[in-house]
């Protein structure tokens, strides 16, 4: 059943898509759209359903931004690029990972399969074709601090640590921050809770760098925080950072 616009709009002109475990988003501006992250490959059908429910078509998507190139964020990016000629943009440090189809931290997953939530997530990965991600073969680089000339006009902020090229995207006129996996709002090891937090160390390339680099977001003030994993969280970014650094 198609969901209505009102059900998916979680901030002004911003729509949450994906599953209870994996988020990606649509930004509307002047009847054009930006896609932020692309979930798993099987989420392609959901993109069509959402576009139809919102009276849009593929041709209305002007850009695809990737916070980073893990498999649960780049699922249908290549298909979108190929079939709709949508440019895919990410930080240059993620280019190789995107070409490699995501390069997930498999060792960490293997060690954590005793956790029921990780087993549930792993089942979702397999069912969503997350073990065979189409490589993203052509991308355009995003520079730290740049304001992107795409619907929503997000500002890119480099927050490395989860991966080397992790980016957050900030919409100044809507106080919305897409933080990718620099922060989650759910505890990834239990898939419960709604508090800003770092991903567990085994999911971060450099956990200490992840802890440090989120302070780059401190100047943003009140935001609607929209992570790759977990529900939206509304509050002051300074508080979000303090909560995240407690772990």
Residue 94 or 181: which CB sits closer to Zn ion?
A: 181
By CB under 5 A, is residue 37 in contact with Zn ion? no
Residue 170 or 188: which CB sits closer to Zn ion?
A: 188
By CB under 5 A, is residue 94 in contact with Zn ion? no
Question: Do the Cβ atoms of 154 and 178 come closer than 8 Å?
Answer: yes
Closest approach of Zn ion to the CB of residue 45, in Å: 23
Residue range at the interface with Zn ion (CB under 5 A); choices 45-53, 98-106, 146-154, 177-185: 177-185
Closest approach of Zn ion to the CB of residue 56, in Å: 27
By CB under 5 A, is residue 70 in contact with Zn ion? yes
Residue range at the interface with Zn ion (CB under 5 A); choices 51-59, 125-133, 175-183, 185-193: 175-183
Closest approach of Zn ion to the CB of residue 213, in Å: 14
Residue 24 or 62: which CB sits closer to Zn ion?
A: 24
Residue 15 or 70: which CB sits closer to Zn ion?
A: 70
Q: Which of 247, 210, 189, 222 is nearest to 21 (CA)?
A: 189
Closest approach of Zn ion to the CB of residue 162, in Å: 6
Instruction: Indicate which single residue of 37, 78, 181, 187 sits in contact with Zn ion (rule: CB under 5 A).
Output: 181
Closest approach of Zn ion to the CB of residue 97, in Å: 10
Residue 70 or 158: which CB sits closer to Zn ion?
A: 70
| Cα separation, 35 vs 87, whole angstroms | 10
Closest approach of Zn ion to the CB of residue 55, in Å: 32
Residue 33 or 179: which CB sits closer to Zn ion?
A: 179
* Beta-carbon count within 10 A of 157 CB: 22
Given the rule CB under 5 A, which residues bind Zn ion? 70, 181
């Amino acid at each position: 059943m198609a969901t209505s616009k009102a059900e998916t709009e979680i901030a002004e002109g911003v729509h949450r898509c994906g599953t209870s475990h994996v988020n990606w988003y649509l930004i509307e501006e002047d009847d054009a759209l930006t896609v932020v992250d692309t979930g798993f490959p099987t989420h392609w059908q959901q993109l069509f359903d959402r576009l139809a429910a919102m009276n849009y078509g593929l041709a209305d998507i002007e850009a695809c931004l990737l916070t980073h190139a893990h498999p649960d964020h780049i699922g249908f990016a290549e298909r979108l690029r190929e079939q709709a000629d949508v440019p895919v943009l990410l930080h240059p440090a993620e280019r190789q990972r995107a070409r490699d189809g995501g390069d997930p931290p498999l060792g960490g997953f293997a060690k954590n399969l005793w956790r029921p939530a990780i087993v549930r997530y792993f089942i979702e990965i397999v069912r969503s074709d997350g073990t065979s991600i189409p490589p993203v073969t052509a991308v355009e680089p995003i520079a730290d601090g740049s304001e992107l000339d795409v619907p929503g006009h997000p500002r890119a902020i480099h927050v490395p640590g989860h991966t080397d090229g992790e980016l957050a995207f900030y919409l100044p006129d809507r106080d919305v921050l897409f933080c990718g996996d620099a922060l989650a709002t759910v505890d990834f090891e239990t898939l419960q809770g709604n508090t800003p937090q770092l991903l567990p160390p085994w999911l971060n390339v450099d956990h200490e760098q992840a802890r440090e680099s989120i302070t780059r977001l401190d100047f943003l003030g009140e935001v609607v925080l929209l992570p790759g994993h977990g529900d939206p969280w509304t509050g002051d970014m300074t508080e979000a950072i303090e909560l995240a650094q407690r772990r």
